[in-house]
Amino acid sequence: MPLPRLGSVLVTGGAGFIGSALSQELAPHSDRWVVLDNLHPQIHPSRQRPEALHSSAELVIGDVTESEDWDRVLTMVRPDVVFHLAAETGTAQSLNEATRHASVNVVGTTEMLDAFSRASHVPRHFILSSSRAVYGEGSWQRSDGSIITPGQRTHAQLAASQWDFADAMALASESRTTVPAPTSIYGATKLTQEHILRAWTNARDTGLTILRLQNVYGPGQSLIN
């Protein structure tokens, strides 16, 4: 079945390996494919346009946390579809760089939505790349059948190599039954993204798809990130 035309598309963080792969598949089915990316040196050490980005993609170098960059982009394009990929993604790194992760993931999302409000424009659909990190340790079942969400292991448990929780068995995470309970700062910022976008899109009766991705890898991935 041929893909329908997507109209004008805006991809935040779209110069990474996921965004570049998306561009190869979907840019030919779009009227315009505009990428907003700051080419962060942790992912793009050369600060050059990625070769894997589709030739028709319009690359705008800018920061999702800067309102001026958002206003500049939205004078160029009024997107029908938004892929919101821009994020700081280090689970361990977020423990020591909490402000950096919260700024990009949370404030970057609110800056995007405020820019759409200033421009009086509502895209017809958002796609958010979230993370399985929103689940934290997931749910466990006690021998009496009750379900618990124990959260993060204590230092004492880790020192004792106690990986399991007493009298409980880990349950497979399923989106229908597992309650998000992030145990990392990164996971908390991604869940906050979900809540913010859901509130905004619900209020404007527009579409939202959330993808809670596991570890991702593939051609073009930065080996220094």
pLDDT value, residue 105: 98
The gap from C-alpha 94 to its chain's centroid, in whole angstroms, comes to 14
Q: What whole-number percentage of the chain has pLDDT above 70?
A: 97
Specify the CATH superfamily of domain 8-136+180-213.
NAD(P)-binding Rossmann-like Domain (3.40.50.720)
pLDDT value, residue 174: 67
Which residue among 105, 186, 190, 193 is the active-site one? 186
Contacts of 15 (CB under 8 A, 6+ apart): 35, 37, 39, 44, 49, 50, 53, 59
pLDDT value, residue 73: 98
Q: pTM for this structure?
A: 0.90
Q: Is the pLDDT of residue 1 over 70?
A: no
Residue in 48, 61, 42, 62 with CA at minimum distance from that of residue 108: 62
Q: Is 135 marked active-site?
A: no
Could you say which DSSP state residue 107 is in?
I
Q: Is the pLDDT of residue 20 over 90?
A: yes
Q: Is the pLDDT of residue 191 over 80?
A: yes
Q: Is the pLDDT of residue 176 over 80?
A: no
Across the chain, what does the average pLDDT equal? 92
